Structure 1
Amino acid sequence: MTLADAPRVRRRAHRAWAVAAVTMLALVAAAGFRSSTGALLEPLEEDFGWSRGATSGAVSLNLIVYGLTAPFAAALMGRFGVRRVVPMALVLTAVGSGLTLVMTSAWQLWLLWGLAVGVGTGALALVFGAIVANRWFVTHRGLVTGVFSAAGSTGQLVFLPAIAALADGPGWRWAAGLVAAFALLLAPIAWLVMRDSPASLGVTAYGSEVGTLPVPIQPTAGAARLALVTLRQVATSWTFWALFASFWVCGWSTNGLIGTHFIPAAHDHGMPETTSAGLLALIGVFDIVGTIASGWLTDRIDPRLLLFVYYLLRGLSLLWVDQLLGDAIHPSLFLFVLFYGLDWVATVPPTVALCREHFGLERSGVVFGWVFASHMVGAGVAASFAGWTRQATGTYLGAWITAGILCLGAAVVCLMIPRRPEAAQP
């Protein structure tokens, strides 16, 4: 029998890629409803007569609950498995979003947006992506983390123009229903495709050495206890608090300020909401490129230096944004959108890498959960601060300047993070 007659062995794609694809979709779904808040603030205020403080407060609660859920969700995934937690989180997000269709009072907005959707999307936060990347990939781990980080922008890109158009046309309820339906449809897909670890299928992570035996993920007892114990263990580390503080500023300057208030701020300058929503979606387009590129760079460059550059340039751009807004798109505003998109969550891959390098692979998911919690708490504080600033002064100028100064401070803090300890191994 010749070589040509030998039966061909079809190489099957590694299951890690299917898991990564569903992870990406889940992250997109979670980001979809959250990206709708900026486009729905004014429609809700017009429909119910609520103040900017009331709607911004609901968004703040959503962001804070979203962030605080992350470390406990990471521990829950260790206790009950990713395959169980993810579909339940999608269903909770769909229920919370769907019930907004029949709400009549501001407290119901706080309950549904703030608590239900906050918990559901918090369990599908970037911590979830970090856990999947760490468990399923060895090769291209930083790049995959960058792709997962870009999923939030993809959700913004996919949903925001449609949400703005629906809110401007048939009404905001159609917009909320769109995201609820997408999340509900994705839940059974996640259950069928997701697995807790490569070992559950008898395979190793993608890129592991040939012949390496798969290591099962041992369930951990007491998710809440694990999250709190991990926090106590790392609370004496300067690296942890540096990452905690810088990511707090990251959340302030992205989800809390730009993500929530860019559309109403642009509208204050005479720009139509559909136009500003398109610009925010365009930020999402550029963020996909920037975050994936950041993941690639993280595999090659000191993550501390990357964070320093990201925060420095972001802070400088925020100091000028109020002068760039107007009733139409002009080249300087487009350049801001281009840069801010590239920098939006480019901070995630190097932050995840520093958590893994300084605190080890096993603890990195929960540690990053706490760091991510600070991100969303910062976002929640910023959403309310910017709303109160606008309500008190009639302008967002103070909010832009404050965010710019905070980013410059975060750049300095990141540069002070020590090099990777010799004893810490991934």
Structure 2
Amino acid sequence: MTQTTDSPVAVPAPPRKAEPRIHRAWFVAAVAFVTIIGAAAFRSLPGLLIDPLHQEFHWSRGTIGAAVSVNLALYGLTAPFAAALMDRFGIRKVVAVALTVIAVGSGLTVFMHTAWQLILYWGLLVGLGSGSMALAFAATVTNRWFTERRGLVTGILTAASASGQLIFLPLLSWMVEAHGWRPAAITVTLAALAVVPFVWLLLRDHPADVGLAPYGSSAEYVPKPAPVTGAARRTLTVLVKAARTGPFWLLAGTFAICGATTNGLVQTHFVPAAHDHGMPVTAAAGLLAVVGVFDVVGTIFSGWLTDRFESRRLLATYYALRGISLLFLPMLLAPSVHPPMIFFIVFYGLDWVATVPPTIALCRGHYGEDSAIVFGWVLASHQVGAAVVAFLAGVARDVFGSYDVVWYASGALCAAAALMALVIRHRGPAGEPLAA
């Protein structure tokens, strides 16, 4: 007797719940947004600590930059493995552990006395934890919970990091100035720990967990995929497969330049560079906070544009404009804030991570179901680029006495990234080529 089945799974699919007026996917996106904000607290801190650590421990800026480099590199290299671990153990478990590791690493820095401890706590632990909370997390949430508005949601979740910077940077800069750097590190610890119960109680791994289909799906029910074993092997397999294609290397190259000119250079070295020109640390930190305000606007708008226009041309435009602005920055640094500097901050903020939605869209178009892991590797290149420039910019400051040469070199790199973006073949969400 032959038995047939309409479903590939042994257990029948539960009936789909009536969708609420606001789809649950938007609540999950909101939880992810708040979670990334909590993890972003540490991203606000490195640039504020370069001068205090240099003064207290007499470490060179190159040494401190090396610790930042380890952090930034691990932030990126952990991301693709974190995406695979989320497929194996679920988003909620991985994110809760990552936040705890960030809290432990930041908390231990208050007890350090030697440079290797800075590299261990600030570089290794916080790098691993924040890497698991990287943009691969945003890509995983978007891919699982949304089939429509993916560009917009990607932009919103990407903007969460900037929002964290906006919230914490003025507070942390005031703490560093008034009470020293240790209370600021403790604040980061508490912020990361505060998000853990929020994640555990409210975040869900898949729409099937609550009996819903993804937002925008025409299917009545989308079953939850089985846990994927061999996370590390799968991550490396996807890398080997993607590395055989040209678009991967172009995306990785452009995103490395993106990281070099944002996290590696401006986020890490803008405050000390402005302080070199006589600007108070609190004023320079306030300018970075304004970058965070406009980054939210620019990234969400970029997500909206990504749903409507060709991603490679958006990337080329973003990198070209960023490079031009960096070439003018050395002429704008001064003891006080003036209108041209405000214009630069607004302009740079709008462009800061506007590159993320079109980059994720290109990964999704070329690599389909593996796109979150592929983007994790592309993000790794972003952070390696950031790590290299965070270190080299500190060395350049020690050698030349200013950051000018770094600003000019970064502008030239952005021009190269714009040209690389135009070479990428653009493909649609299902892999079909799109018209130029």
How high is the TM-score relative to the length of structure 1?
A: 0.95
Tell me which amino acid in the other structure corresponds to 2:261. S
Matched-pair contact (CA < 8 Å) for 2:264–2:386: yes
Q: How big is each residue's C-alpha offset from its partner over 1:358-399, in whole Å with a ceiling of 9 and x where there is no partner?
A: 111x10100000000000000000000100001000010111
The answer to whether residue 419 in structure 2 is matched with residue 412 in structure 1 is: yes
Question: What is the deviation of 1:350?
Answer: 0.2
The answer to whether residue 344 in structure 2 is matched with residue 308 in structure 1 is: no
User: Counterparts in 2 of 1:164-179, with a 5 A limit?
Assistant: 164-179=173-188
2:14 — aligned with what?
A: none
Q: How big is each residue's C-alpha offset from its partner over 1:228-287, in whole Å with a ceiling of 9 and x where there is no partner?
A: 000011111111111000000000000000000000000111100000000011000010
Tell me which amino acid in the other structure corresponds to 2:225. I
The answer to whether residue 361 in structure 2 is matched with residue 373 in structure 1 is: no
2:66 — aligned with what?
A: 57
The answer to whether residue 28 in structure 2 is matched with residue 23 in structure 1 is: no
Does the residue aligned with 2:267 lie in a helix, a strand or coil?
helix
Report how many aligned residue pairs link the two structures: 416
d(CA) in 2 for partners of 1:102, 1:119: 20
Structure 1 residues 397 and 77: CA distance shift in structure 2, 3 A: same
2:328 — aligned with what?
A: 320
d(CA) in 1 for partners of 2:183, 2:367: 44
Q: How big is each residue's C-alpha offset from its partner over 1:38-82, in whole Å with a ceiling of 9 and x where there is no partner?
A: 011111111222111111110011000111000110111111110
Tell me which amino acid in the other structure corresponds to 2:262. T
d(CA) in 1 for partners of 2:190, 2:252: 34
2:397 maps to which of 362, 387, 390: 390
* Identity fraction in percent: 55
Q: Which runs of 4+ in 1 moved over 6 A?
A: none
The answer to whether residue 96 in structure 2 is matched with residue 72 in structure 1 is: no
d(CA) in 2 for partners of 1:423, 1:90: 34
1:197 — aligned with what?
A: 206
2:91 maps to which of 82, 88, 103: 82
d(CA) in 1 for partners of 2:310, 2:367: 17
Structure 1 residues 28 and 422: CA distance shift in structure 2, 3 A: closer
Tell me which amino acid in the other structure corresponds to 1:286. F
Does the residue aligned with 1:319 lie in a helix, a strand or coil?
helix
d(CA) in 1 for partners of 2:266, 2:250: 23
Tell me which amino acid in the other structure corresponds to 1:233. K
1:262 — aligned with what?
A: 270
The answer to whether residue 352 in structure 2 is matched with residue 354 in structure 1 is: no
Question: What is the deviation of 1:320?
Answer: 1.2
d(CA) in 2 for partners of 1:163, 1:10: 42
d(CA) in 2 for partners of 1:228, 1:110: 26
Structure 2 runs not aligned, ≥5 long: 1-17
d(CA) in 2 for partners of 1:232, 1:86: 26
d(CA) in 2 for partners of 1:378, 1:315: 16
d(CA) in 2 for partners of 1:10, 1:52: 55
Question: What is the deviation of 1:215?
Answer: 2.6
The answer to whether residue 30 in structure 2 is matched with residue 44 in structure 1 is: no
Question: What is the deviation of 1:14?
Answer: 2.2
Q: How big is each residue's C-alpha offset from its partner over 1:301-355, in whole Å with a ceiling of 9 and x where there is no partner?
A: 0001100000000011111111110001111111110100000000000000000
Does the residue aligned with 1:169 lie in a helix, a strand or coil?
helix
d(CA) in 1 for partners of 2:85, 2:116: 29
Tell me which amino acid in the other structure corresponds to 2:100. V
1:3 — aligned with what?
A: none
Tell me which amino acid in the other structure corresponds to 1:242. L
Question: What is the deviation of 1:31?
Answer: 1.5
d(CA) in 2 for partners of 1:372, 1:381: 14
Matched-pair contact (CA < 8 Å) for 1:295–1:349: yes
Matched-pair contact (CA < 8 Å) for 2:365–2:426: no
The answer to whether residue 182 in structure 2 is matched with residue 182 in structure 1 is: no
Matched-pair contact (CA < 8 Å) for 1:199–1:217: no
The answer to whether residue 170 in structure 2 is matched with residue 161 in structure 1 is: yes
1:245 maps to which of 248, 253, 265: 253
Question: What is the deviation of 1:11?
Answer: 3.9
Tell me which amino acid in the other structure corresponds to 1:93. I
d(CA) in 2 for partners of 1:346, 1:125: 16
1:117 — aligned with what?
A: 126
Question: What is the deviation of 1:423?
Answer: 6.8
d(CA) in 1 for partners of 2:220, 2:387: 44
How high is the TM-score relative to the length of structure 2?
A: 0.93
Structure 1 residues 196 and 397: CA distance shift in structure 2, 3 A: same
d(CA) in 2 for partners of 1:26, 1:398: 37
Matched-pair contact (CA < 8 Å) for 2:62–2:395: yes
d(CA) in 1 for partners of 2:141, 2:216: 14
The answer to whether residue 102 in structure 2 is matched with residue 93 in structure 1 is: yes
